[in-house]
Structure 1
Amino acid sequence: MSPDQILVNGRIHTLAPENSIVTALAVTRNAISAIGSDSEILQLASNNTHVINLQDRLVIPGMVDAHCHFDHFSRQVNNVDAGQSNKRKLIKILANQTKITPEEQWITGHGWDHNRWGEDVPTASDIDVVAPNHPVFLTGHSMHISWANSSAMTKAHINTSTPDPPGGIIGRDEHGNPNGIFYETASDLIVSVMPELSIHDVANNMLLAQEKLWKTGLTGLHDYDHQISFNALELLSENDTLGLRVVKNMPASLLDEVIATGYRTGSGDKWLRIGGIKVFMDGALGARTASMLEPYELDTNNYGIVVTEEDELLSIANKANTNGLAMTVHAIGDRANREVLNVYENLRQDEMERGDPPSKLRHRIEHVQLLHPNDYLRLASSQIIASMQPIHATADMTLAEKYWGDRISGAYAWRTQIDAGAILAFGSDAPVESINPLWGIHAAVTRSNRTNNVGTIGWQTKQCLTVDEAVRAYTIGAAYAAYRENDLGTLTPGKLADLVVLDKDIYHCDPMDIHTTNVLGTMIDGTWKYRASDLY
């Protein structure tokens, strides 16, 4: 059978051990059927083969965001943009929003960051001035802190006598009255009384969002949102409109339901598969709720928040493990990471006694933002996937220095992990950070903010990766984490035709320019989901 498409005159990085760089490849139906030189591949063509001249452009395997919140990201089009440079600007935006929103209807938004403002946390009264008759709920940049006004707290029946929920804290003033700030699970007190979108609404948002993702070179993602996200993804898959390869990780609150349904990690089809069971061990750096072995600098009574105790995690993990479900655990602080590693080492011992190899259940730590030196080698030794987000380092570097001090030698330590032999799978944590994987590659290679200043010096540069290492974390590493290394991650014959064409050779351009790279084409399953006008 002759190829349906042939791409020639390119710089095609296959990421394979052999034929790592070729100039041409053939696509038959939905798979790569051949790679090689222009002359070798062109002789396979028939009159029906569509030949595309890449004009010496770079091609890499399709990139996968190994950690994002797809539902939350998709909802941003309907939310207030709370990521303003100061509180005054945000309050003005909220004031304008009340003029076009019926009273009693919720106003929601995401992205505020009091650290960026250089202020203490805001309060409900800041919003009450401009929105006394609208319930307002704004998630913070880290998604581990939220801000509500008095109307929202009234609807949630939150008052002085409301206790802090397990794993969360209600912010209070000096008299013990709730002040409108909610940490970790306390945010759920507000969320629980908010009107829910329908599954169809969520699915429609995702349809629009996936088009944006194609334009960034993403061909898949690993999702960490709640059950409605899974239901919407199932709907898209059933309607043959899901155009991304998705791994859906399930919250631990649904563990019994997942087991009863018969789901197992890795089950599913070529578009939608089940991932692991998600547990939160702690919070985040920005909210100073990450769980620490020693207190925060400048906040010496604060060790963060323990959302899940180590023995509770072990209980959940044992139950998941015996039912064929891998674990995927959020851990930011050094204490949180240590306790997850303790549990994973217990799991690995049990698996070994059963005769199960580590590749059967590919446990992950999400974020791995700070490790104690004694724990640097433990992910690799237990074959735990380090699911990390490069842009977190460049976004958090000032805060990390301020609140973690000398401990930053173990912060966002990709080089330490890759040299130890751990598998890296990179993502964005969107909408916390930009979902653009090229921005992530830039951050991984330079550990610098996006700037045109070629003299910029990165942060903790001993942890920088090469371009090839960063690309592999978005491709091969993400494929392994999804149990899909046999059909994704490299551009070799027999693998699915997921690839990206870039307007710049990121392997050879100035590393500081990587973030300016544009995607010219994104192919998924042999079909161009996005293609610039000059790529026909």
Structure 2
Amino acid sequence: GRGWTQDLWGGQFPTAADLDAVAPENPAFFQAKSGHAAWVNSAALRAAGITTSTPDPDGGEILRDASGAPTGILLENAIDLVQRNVPDPDPETLADYIEYAQTAMLASGITAVHDFDNPSLLRAVQILRERGHLGMRIVKQINKAWLEPALESGIRSGFGDDWIRFGSLKLFADGALGPRTALMVDPYEGQPHNTGIAVVEPEEMLTLVSKASAAGLASTVHAIGDLAVRRVLDVFEQVRREEAERGVARDARRHRIEHVQIIHPMDAHRLAELEIIASMQPIHATSDWEVATRYWGEERCEYAYNARLQIDQGVRVAFGSDAPVEPFDPFKGIHAAVTRQRDGQPEGGWYPELRLTLDEALHGFTTGAAYAAGTEDRQGQIAEGYLADLLVLDRNPYEIPAGELADVGVVSTMVDGIWRSGEHS
């Protein structure tokens, strides 16, 4: 299962004993909403061989009680100690799941996705295409474990076609805000010894990003905390020097930082200087603002979820949802970008000076996302010669109050000139 957050339980993590009360025999595994923590029962700990003497893996942590015994909460790379025992669905079944999700996404107006799941999804998407049921475009990213075979197979950024194409190497520099594993320059409020977790250390990150770039593959690196963002920028700065020495244009390697949820003021200018894409999710700001204020404090939060800063400096910004962490409905994200509110709170918007215009928000979800995919010459706008991917809406977003943007409905969705969802399908 998936979707819990300790912030709904007073900020306290649950325990294996809590799950044992309802699942005493069978292993139980539940990922947090963020995907950066897992809650397991005692049976799952036993099945994975996790005991008091089990060391923390690199880039992960097994939470323990005062006696050193595992509590049932696993952070970051420690999640894999149990998750690797969970069987994956076979490709045909996974294709069925994707088709089910695709129906809902098309109905919400999504015509293309950037996928960061594991390699098994690639085969499932191919099966869906073979069935003639693939109705949206997929940009597939490559994880660390898949890098070597991918490069040996000649995979590069842009390899594929307009339905299934490869995007970039995907790495994780740190964790997330919710479990307080996002890597920070200064400690979390109320936790003077906690600055988060480095999921991949800078030396390894540089090796992987450099190798991928030399082979024609851009990199996307998850970075939420300000120290993680700094480390990723340091890596990209070195790789940009290497690319310049080889005569590789910056536009040919569209590196990006995924999330940029908080940036240190000393680093605020660096994405623009290095021409790094800021791939951000406006809806995170309106979901997280209370937790962010509690964990990071008001002063640091001036630089949190700050697409305004990046846009004003000329950074190319791509917007998305981070589904399943947040709802994939793009108009909920557009509403968040323009209002910095959820359900009318906070009044006036969270740091209202960081609100975006409707033009800026729409650009991030369309042209900006297409640029990140390397397809801005044929996606991201309605124009002659572009792919016939478009929506019919139930109202004009420019003629309604900003507070109603989250309620904009999709009447019909067209992909490749065919109505895939709605009244015309």
When normalised by structure 2's length, the TM-score is: 0.98
Quick one: which amino acid aligns to residue 528 of structure 1?
A: W
Find 2:188's aligned residue among 286, 291, 296: 296
Q: Which residue of 1 aligns with 2:401?
A: 510
Confirm or deny: 8 A CA contact 1:237 1:272 kept in the other structure. Answer: no
Question: Residue 183 of structure 1 corresponds to which residue in structure 2?
Answer: 75
Counterpart of 1:88 in structure 2 is: none
Name the SS for the 2:302 alignment partner.
Answer: helix
Read off the aligned partner of 2:321 and give its amino acid letter: S
Q: Which runs of 5+ in 1 are unaligned?
A: 1-108
Q: Between the two structures, name the one with larger relative contact order (CA 8 Å, sep ≥ 6).
A: 1
CA displacement 1:18-60 (0-9 Å, x = unmatched): xxxxxxxxxxxxxxxxxxxxxxxxxxxxxxxxxxxxxxxxxxx
Q: Are residues 1:130 and 2:9 paired?
A: no
Alignment-derived partner of residue 386 in structure 1: 278
2:217 to 319, 325, 332: 325
> 1:433 corresponds to which letter in structure 2?
E
Report what 1:481 is aligned to.
Answer: 372
Q: Moved runs in structure 1, 4+ residues, more than 3 A?
A: none
Q: Distance in 1 between matches of 2:274 and 2:399?
A: 35
Distance in 2 separating the partners of 1:217 and 1:426: 14
Structure 2 partner of 1:354: 246
> TM-score, normalised to structure 1's length?
0.78
| Structure 1 vs Structure 2 CA RMSD | 1.3
Of 386, 391, 394, 1:500 maps to 391
Aligned position for 1:441? 334
- Deviation at 1:462? 1.3
Bigger radius of gyration, 1 or 2?
1
Q: Name the SS for the 2:292 alignment partner.
A: helix
Deviations 1:221-250 (A, max 9, x none): 001111111221222233332111110011
Aligned AA (2:355): C
2:263 is matched with 371
Q: Which residue of the partner structure matches residue 151 of structure 2?
A: 259
Counterpart-to-counterpart distance in 2, 1:521 and 1:363: 33
1:201 CA drift (Å): 1.0
Task: Tell me which residue corresponds to 2:204.
Answer: 312
In proportion to residue count, which structure has more helix? 2
In structure 2, how many angstroms separate the alpha carbons of the residues matched to 1:509 and 1:196?
Answer: 45
Residue aligning to 2:5: 113
Asked if structure 2 preserves the Cα contact closer than 8 Å seen for 1:165 and 1:185, the reply is yes
Compute the displacement of 1:457 (Å). 1.7
Does residue 281 of the first structure (1) align with residue 173 of the second (2)? Answer: yes
What is the SS of the residue equivalent to 1:520? Answer: strand
Query: Are residues 1:428 and 2:321 paired?
Result: yes
Question: What do the CA deviations read for 1:189-222 (whole angstroms, capped 9, x no partner)?
Answer: 1111112211111111001110000111000000
Cα distance in 1 for residues equivalent to 2:214 and 2:11: 48
| Residue-pair matches, total | 424
SS in 2 for 1:507: helix
Identity %: 47
SS at match of 2:138: strand
Residue equivalent to 2:303: 410
Please give the alpha-carbon distance, in whole angstroms, between the structure 2 residues aligned to 1:119 and 1:325: 40
Residue identity opposite 2:370 in structure 1 = A
Distance of 2:92 and 2:79 partners within structure 1:
25
Distance 2:31 2:45 in 1: 14
AA aligned opposite 1:371:
I
Structure 2: gaps (5+ residues): none
| Match of residue 414 from structure 2 | 523
| Amino acid corresponding to residue 93 of structure 2 in structure 1 | D
Selected match of 1:468 from 334, 359, 363: 359
| In structure 2, distance between residues paired with 1:289 and 1:178 | 18
SS in 1 for 2:245: helix
CA deviation string 1:97-126 (max 9, x = no partner): xxxxxxxxxxxx111111122141000000
Shift of 1:350: 1.4
